[in-house]
Structure 1
Amino acid sequence: MVSGIRKHIRDHLLQQRICRSRLVTKDGRCNIEFGNMKYGNHFAYLMDFWTTFVDLRWRFVLFFFIASFTLSWFFFGLLWFWVAWSNGDLTWQNPSWDHLYCVDNVNNLTTAFLFSVETQTSIGYGIRVITPLCPSAIALFMIQFLIGSIINCFLCGVILAKISRSKKRAKTITFTKMAVICPKKDFLWLMIRVANLRKTLMIGSQIYGKLLRTTITPDGETIIMDQVNIEFMVDAGKDNLFFVCPLTLYHVIDKSSPFFEMAVDTLQKQEFELVVFLDGTAESTSSSCQVRTSFIPQEIMWGYNFMPIISRSKEGKYRVDFSNFSKVVPVATAHCPYCFHNIGHHLCSPSPGRHQELL
């Protein structure tokens, strides 16, 4: 039992270390921080305040929503209290029986706050009502109505924009946690499977990848984040995908591929990160969307292929079995791309134990 707990803790710490070392997490978030920024750059966030508010977390948006309305009600309540005080409408000022009020039934701070809420929200219960006798009250009424409309439109727009953001649509597009390398159709492929969990299509979808690694130039310069383009395709090409069912993405490992110099026994020792992008337009909202994920060497399985996932039912309908979405089977595969292209009969089979563990 103790050894099991230790193994669980060790695996958890290893997973945490892997997550920290990623540039792009499995769910598409960029794991990067900015340091030593000039204070003047922070004003750029205020200039682009719309994007700043939309990018805020929900808890901060809800806080600003509640705080802006509450503080504006209280602020204008104080102004209405001042109008009533300057006109002698308050109870403790003992107005005469024929006194002309600026606002009927506003005679203390509480009623002034309630009238402020009624004015800004257009409730208008009818007990407290403005009279045409005080120009200052009329001007304050117009100012509060305009400011309240601006606050209402802006914050409701922020909430609507956050609800309808394309990032939420990306949550219903998923990649397999592992990538595989195996031969198929006389080529050695690196394959990844992606699925659209909604029946609505992603129009004009495009797939591409970036291999991020640290390289040293012939001049001795170290490039921390060297980016290499990785071309992906599906059976029907690489542009304008018909993304109605799960697709398998293929990258051919030839002499132009950065994976050509790797082998089954050296892959896990490499230091790189394969970031895969899917760009498209949501059919239901016509908003552009990008989905991304990443794979590190420990998440690439050499000598495996994905299990079939699409079949036909007795009624003739196409059926997608998501229980096989991430499952793999061992396939006899060459030890390295060079062996595959030059000595194709030198194949190696993965160990069944590792296969069961990864499944």
Structure 2
Amino acid sequence: MNGRPTFPALLAVGRKFAPWQDLYHWLLQRSWLTFFGLILVLFVLLNLLFACTYWVAPGCITGTTTHSFEDCFFFSVQTLATIGYGTMAPATRYAHVMVSFEALTGVISTALITGLTFAKFARPTSRVLFADKIAVGTRDGVPTMCFRMANYRQNTVTEAQLRIILLVTDYTREGEEHRSPIELKLVRDRSPTFILTWTAMHVIDESSPFYGEDAMDRLRARRAEMYALLTGVDETFGQTIHGRFYYRLDDIVQNARFADVITLLPSGQRRIDYTRFHDVVPIAPKPAATT
């Protein structure tokens, strides 16, 4: 949503994987442009393959005088797509057999492409915009860490639930390294209806891993990362959607709050300014009390 990956980049070493080993999942992960590009490449390759089978047998196609490779290619296109303009037709038993195989290939490929296209369209997706900063400041006199997100579709997501996971590196007594998840306690981790924006808050108290002046140094030493995981039911799809984002410790801004993005117009309509959605503003310190 904001140009950043939702999870850190992963470099897999020694992993032997080819797309055809998990082709269905691999195709669903491709973008629409790549998906339709692959379909076009497959369509051309299939027609080139069958065009070669007709071209090596001169006279197998009636309705053409030159029997050029171009004629064979477009005859293959008409056969694979079951067009049949009535001009070119198979003239030999060999051609009839090849046309039968190509027609079967066309039926199967059409069914597979239709199913994959429908699966990509029907798959529920989330359009949750996460602020790329974490604001830490005082709210009602209490140190608080704030996360902001927005429903970019501006429809209704019901029973939205947010989890903030702090992932740190720990070591066993034997020196074995492992990653430990710590779930941050939020003031409110559920929203009955998530329509506009949502600012989730984590109070930095004695139970918080961010408590203490040296907390950031301790967490940096443990290579800490933070993950925001949101789930809810999209009323348009009627299915559960998932949104996720990850933060680095460098994304935390101290003594700041998020800029206001929602204003109430005189007409009663709410206005959301997404141009300031990621902005944080410094919190002015309160003047010292005088006696």
Q: Indicate the TM-score class for this superposition, using the shorter chain for normalisation.
A: 0.7 to 0.9
Partner SS for 2:53: helix
The partner residue of 1:150 within 108, 112, 121 is 108
Distance 1:242 1:185 in 2: 25
* 8 Å contact kept, 2:128–2:149: yes
| Greater RCO structure (CA 8 Å; 6+ sep) | 2
Could you say which residue in structure 1 is the equivalent of 2:193? 242
Could you say which residue in structure 2 is the equivalent of 1:49? 23
Distance 1:239 1:176 in 2: 18
* 8 Å contact kept, 2:135–2:280: no
Could you say which residue in structure 1 is the equivalent of 2:44? 70
What is the CA distance between 1:202 and its match in structure 2? 2.5
Distance 2:281 2:258 in 1: 4
Relative to total residues, which structure has the larger strand share, 1 or 2?
A: 2
Taking the TM superposition and a 5 Å limit, the aligned residue runs for 1:1-359 are 26-37=4-15, 39=16, 42=17, 46-56=20-30, 61-82=35-56, 85=58, 89=59, 103-105=62-64, 108-110=67-69, 111-130=71-90, 134-159=92-117, 161-162=119-120, 166=124, 169-170=125-126, 172-185=127-140, 187-217=142-172, 219-234=173-188, 238-260=189-211, 262-263=212-213, 267=216, 270-271=219-220, 272-325=224-277, 326-332=279-285
Alignment coverage as a number of residue pairs? 282
What is the CA distance between 1:68 and its match in structure 2? 1.6
* 8 Å contact kept, 1:26–1:294: no
* 8 Å contact kept, 1:106–1:128: no
What is the CA distance between 1:73 and its match in structure 2? 1.0
What is the CA distance between 1:268 and its match in structure 2? 6.1
What is the CA distance between 1:296 and its match in structure 2? 2.2
- For each residue in 1:263-314, what CA deviation from the matched residue of structure 2 results, as whole angstroms up to 9, or x when unmatched? 2x75367412111111234333345432222222222122222344333221
Amino acid at match of 1:67: V
**More deviation in 69-78 or 154-163?**
154-163
Distance 1:122 1:267 in 2: 66
Amino acid at match of 1:246: T
What is the CA distance between 1:332 and its match in structure 2? 4.1
Partner SS for 2:184: strand
Distance 1:76 1:321 in 2: 56
Partner SS for 2:50: helix
What is the CA distance between 1:246 and its match in structure 2? 0.9
Instruction: Give runs of ≥4 in structure 1 deviating > 6 Å.
Output: none
Identity %, equivalent residues: 20
Relative to total residues, which structure has the larger helix share, 1 or 2?
A: 1
Distance 1:244 1:47 in 2: 40
What is the CA distance between 1:199 and its match in structure 2? 1.9
Distance 1:196 1:286 in 2: 16
Distance 1:118 1:106 in 2: 18
Partner SS for 1:155: helix
Amino acid at match of 1:71: L
* 8 Å contact kept, 1:77–1:109: no
- For each residue in 1:106-129, what CA deviation from the matched residue of structure 2 results, as whole angstroms up to 9, or x when unmatched? 751432222111111223222113
Structure 1 segments unaligned to the other structure (5+ residues): 1-24, 91-101, 334-345, 348-359
What is the CA distance between 1:28 and its match in structure 2? 0.6
- For each residue in 1:204-233, what CA deviation from the matched residue of structure 2 results, as whole angstroms up to 9, or x when unmatched? 32100111222234x153535322122334
Distance 2:260 2:73 in 1: 66
Instruction: Using structure 2 for the length normalisation, give the TM-score.
Output: 0.80
Instruction: Using structure 1 for the length normalisation, give the TM-score.
Output: 0.67
Structure 2 segments unaligned to the other structure (5+ residues): none
Could you say if the C-alpha distance between residues 27 and 113 of structure 1 is closer, same or farther in structure 2, counting changes exceeding 3 Å?
closer
Distance 2:187 2:23 in 1: 39
What is the CA distance between 1:256 and its match in structure 2? 2.4
Distance 2:52 2:251 in 1: 62
Distance 1:297 1:143 in 2: 59
- For each residue in 1:50-98, what CA deviation from the matched residue of structure 2 results, as whole angstroms up to 9, or x when unmatched? 112222456654553233211211222233345x54xxx37xxxxxxxx
